[in-house]
Amino acid sequence: MKTPNALSKIGAIARRVLRQIRGNRRFSVAMLVIPIAILFLLKVVFDALEVPSVAQRRFAVLGVAYLIHFVAFLLTALVVVGERVQGTLGRMFIAGYRRGEIVAGYLVSYTIFATVQGGIVLAVAYGLFDLGYDIAELAQIFLVVWLLAVFMMALGILVSSTARNEVQVIPFVPAILVPALFLSGMVVDVRRFPTWAQVLARFTPLYYAVEVFGGFFSVGSVFSDVGSFLLLPSLAVVVFGVAALTLREER
Amino acid sequence: MTSPAISVDSLVKRYPQVTALAGVSLEIPAGCIYGLVGPNGAGKSTFIKCLVGALRPTGGSVEVLGIDPVADRWRLRRRIGYMPQEIALYDDLTVRQNVRFFGSAHMGVGLDAAVDRVLAFVELTDRADAPVHTLSGGMRQRVSLAGALVHPLDVAILDEPTSGVDPELRRAFWDGFRTLRDGGATVIVSTHQMSEVVECDRVAIVNRGRLVVEETPEDLIARGARQVRIRRKDGTVEEVPVGDYRTELPGLLGIDVETIELVQEPLEDVVLRLIEGSR
């Protein structure tokens, strides 16, 4: 009997995950509503502080990136650990799904989810903060946010390999996502930090997105420094590879 | 002589705190229903996980269909069906979607027909489109079994498949296992229900990570002590252990004997005694 090839198995996993997301309406609505609600609150705070609209637009773009990267990481890490706890991850392996196929299947499905989520959240931010960018500029912002989300999903899967249950994922949330707020360059230019903090900043994936957005805000293109732009997908691929290698079934 | 479907030699699985398997050796003939019997914590699931390559043995060797389950797991997994003890299913998906997903790892062409067939076997055709979280525990168990048997296989490895299943369906399951065996597959079933021992062609009793005994259910039954119960006309009852009652009986018979009954120790008592003896 001819067994299905890797692409077909990746497709089966991705379809299954997307069906689960669709079947769990409360979860998928929360994943959309919460980032939008946070953006709305951010707008209220900015208005109260009378932050100039140019600065508001900058923070809105970085805020969208931060929120999407937060959700992408948390979602994949928790879901993969949940599968391990329920035994479905182990069962998938024994059914004949290989670890590269499993990691790729998760990435494809959550990337589709992040695409929809990123698009909607960016559209809301556009209206809320009066971003005023044209389609080409919005597409560039979306591309960076999307690449960052994929990076974070790979990181979420990698972190899930080190946790035996959902509770063990919790310490990674402040460890990875909170330092990103102030080390990535979102709030303060990284070059003003002492050297050791500049080195530490490079361990926050958001740093690479903020670097790319730096070019966008100054010259209007995320491709102004191609090397800086390519770092984001390159690092995502590396983390994906490590995640695929470390996803283990046997003890 | 045909080679065994499974060969296990001195299998050891040790965890930091406990030794789950302490040197199990056995051979499982191809094309039989093989029962793994023992109390909870005996090492049955650990043994099964070593067979499917989900656990790396600490020592000893395992071969399933001549394949090392750890070193060559992907070649092996194309030929086996596995049902874990825990009900590892996707609650948000329907019965059909769950079964289809596990089948998708093995087959593309003919998958829909295979899903229909296996759902009919577990008697869940009418609930095929129900989300799994709406099902009872027994029904979920049936979905889990369907996920293990949906594709063509040479060895079915089923960890407590009849747990939580009502007696009528349990009988249907065993009929299905016999059909699988008659089709040439080897079926390995773990259970802690002693009454299911007689459904197997061969049985291994395990306890505390060790093999207590390995034989046919008939041999196991023959291990049971036999005694003759003599009820006399005066109301007294005498129970006399016998080996071969056919030769010993005449000597036991005296006047005033009204009835002679052959009392067979229940199989469950035999198994429990063997387990007790292994402690």
Minimal Cβ distance to B55: which of A4, A86, A251: A251
Q: Does the beta carbon of B130 lie under 8 angstroms from any beta carbon of chain A?
A: no
Average pLDDT value for chain B: 89
Selected for mutation to probe chain A from B17, B18, B55, B77 (highest A CB count within 10 Å) is B77
Q: Is the pLDDT of residue A161 over 80?
A: yes
B221 and B257 Cβ atoms separated by less than 8 Å: no
Please name every residue paired with A45 in a beta bridge, in sequence order, or none if there are none: none
| Alpha-carbon distances of B150 from B6, B75, B117, B185, rounded to whole Å | 22, 18, 8, 14
For residue B209, what pLDDT band results from cuts at 50, 70 and 90? very high
The whole-angstrom separation of Cα B137 and Cα B43 is 24
What is the enclosing helix (H) or strand (E) of A231? helix A226-246
Chain B residues within 8 A of A8 when measuring between CB atoms: 104, 108
Looking at residue A164, its pLDDT comes to 82
C-alpha angle B144-B145-B151 in degrees, rounded to nearest 5: 110
Short-list B33, B29, B32, CA closest to B2:
B29
Cα separation values, B23 from B13, B214, B271, Å? 8, 14, 20
Q: Which residues of A touch B109 (CB under 8 A)?
A: 2
pLDDT at B219 over 70: yes
As a whole number, mean pLDDT of residues B139-164 equals 93
- Local confidence band at A234 (pLDDT 50, 70, 90 cut-offs): very high
Note the helical H segments in chain B. Answer: 44-51, 73-77, 95-104, 111-121, 137-149, 167-182, 217-222, 245-252, 267-277
pLDDT tens for each residue of A107-135: 899 889 889 988 999 999 999 998 888 99
Rounded mean pLDDT of B191-213?
91
Band (pLDDT 50/70/90 cuts) for residue B204 is very high
> Which helix (H) or strand (E) covers residue B81, if one does?
strand B80-83
- pLDDT, residue B179, reads 92
Mean pLDDT of A38-42: 91
Rounded CA-CA distance B218/B201 in Å is 9
- Per the CB < 8 A criterion, the answer to whether B53 and A94 are in contact is yes
Distance CA A63, CA A59 (A): 6
In 3D space, the residue among B95, B78, B76, B85 whose CA is nearest the CA of residue B6 turns out to be B76
**B92 at the A interface (CB within 8 A)?**
yes
Chain A residues with beta carbon closer than 8 angstroms to that of B130: none
Considering only CB atoms, A91 lies closest to which of B78, B84, B97, namely B84
A251, B46 contact by CB (below 8 A) = no
Is the per-residue pLDDT at B255 higher than 60?
no
B195 Cβ neighbours under 8 A, 6+ residues apart: B267, B268
**How far apart (Å, rounded) are the C-alpha atoms in residues B163 and B156?**
17
3-class SS letters over B160-213: CCCCCCCHHHHHHHHHHHHHHHHCCCEEEEEECCHHHHHHCCEEEEEECCEEEE
Structure tokens at B127: 């609930």
B53-67, B109-123, B233-247, range with the lowest pLDDT: B233-247
Give me the sheet containing B155-159, strands edge to edge. B80-83, B155-159, B186-191, B33-37, B202-207, B210-215
pLDDT for residue B246: 63
A residues 190-249 near B, CB within 8 Å?
249
How many whole angstroms separate alpha carbon A246 and alpha carbon B79? 26
pLDDT above 90 as % of chain B: 62
Assessment of whether the complete model's pTM goes beyond 0.95:
no
CA distance A242 to chain B (A): 21
Put simply, the chain A residues between 17 and 46 with a CB less than 8 A from any chain B CB are: 19-20, 23-24
- What's the CATH number of domain B6-219, 3.40.50.300, 1.10.3210.10, 1.20.120.450, 3.30.450.20? 3.40.50.300
What integer pLDDT is reported at residue B245 of this predicted model? Answer: 66
Shortest CA distance from A94: residue in chain B = B77
Domain boundaries, chain A: 6-246
Nearest Cα to B145, choosing from B176, B168, B171, B166?
A: B176
Where do you find CATH 3.40.50.300 in chain B? 6-219
Q: Would you say residue B90 has pLDDT above 90? A: yes
CB contact under 8 A, A90 and B101: no
What is the predicted pLDDT for the residue at B201? 96
Give the pLDDT band of residue B230 (cuts 50, 70, 90).
confident
Write the residue in B87, B89, B107 that is nearest to A1 by C-beta: B107
**Contact status, residue B128 vs residue B156, Cβ threshold 8 Å:** no
- Percent of chain A predicted with pLDDT > 90: 41
ipTM, 2 decimals? 0.82
Residue B88's SS3 state is coil
**For residue A249, what pLDDT is reported?**
76
Provide mean pLDDT across the span A232-246. Answer: 90
**pLDDT digits 0-9 by tens, A21-37:** 888 888 888 888 988 99
| pLDDT mean over A138-153 | 92
Q: What pLDDT is stored for residue A94 in this prediction?
A: 94
- Write down the pLDDT at residue A125: 92
Nearest-angstrom CA–CA distance, A227 and A215: 12
Per-residue pLDDT, A23: 81
Higher model confidence: residue B187 or residue A225? B187
First-to-final CA distance of chain B: 36
Phi and psi torsions of A165, nearest 5°: -150, 175
CA distances from B260 to B226, B248, B255, B265 (A): 13, 13, 12, 16
- Lowest mean pLDDT across B89-98, B127-136, B141-150, B242-251: B242-251
Cβ distance of A19 and B147 shorter than 8 Å = no
Task: Report whether pLDDT(B1) > 70.
Answer: no
* Chain B contact present for A96, CB below 8 A: yes
Instruction: For chain B, give the longest Cα–Cα distance.
Output: 76
CB contact at 8 A, B227 and B244: no
Q: What is the pLDDT of residue A25?
A: 82
Angle between helix A135-160 and helix A205-219 axes, rounded to 10 deg: 170
Q: What is the mean pLDDT of chain A?
A: 89
Order of strands, sheet of B257-264, starting from the edge strand that comes earlier in the sequence = B237-241, B226-232, B257-264
For chain A, report the end-to-end CA distance as a whole number of angstroms: 31
Least confident among A72-81, B93-102, B208-217:
A72-81
Mean pLDDT of A204-218: 90
User: What pLDDT sits at residue B278?
Assistant: 75
Mean pLDDT of the A78-102 span: 91
**Quick one: how far is CA A204 from the chain centroid?**
12
pLDDT band (50, 70, 90) for residue B259: low
Mean pLDDT of the B166-179 span: 87
b/e string for B148-173 if b means 16 or more Cβ within 10 A? bbbbebbbbbbbbbbbebeeebbebb
Task: Specify the pLDDT at position B256.
Answer: 60
What pLDDT, on the 0 to 100 scale, is given for residue B181? 96
Is residue B267 within 8 Å of B219, Cβ to Cβ? Answer: no
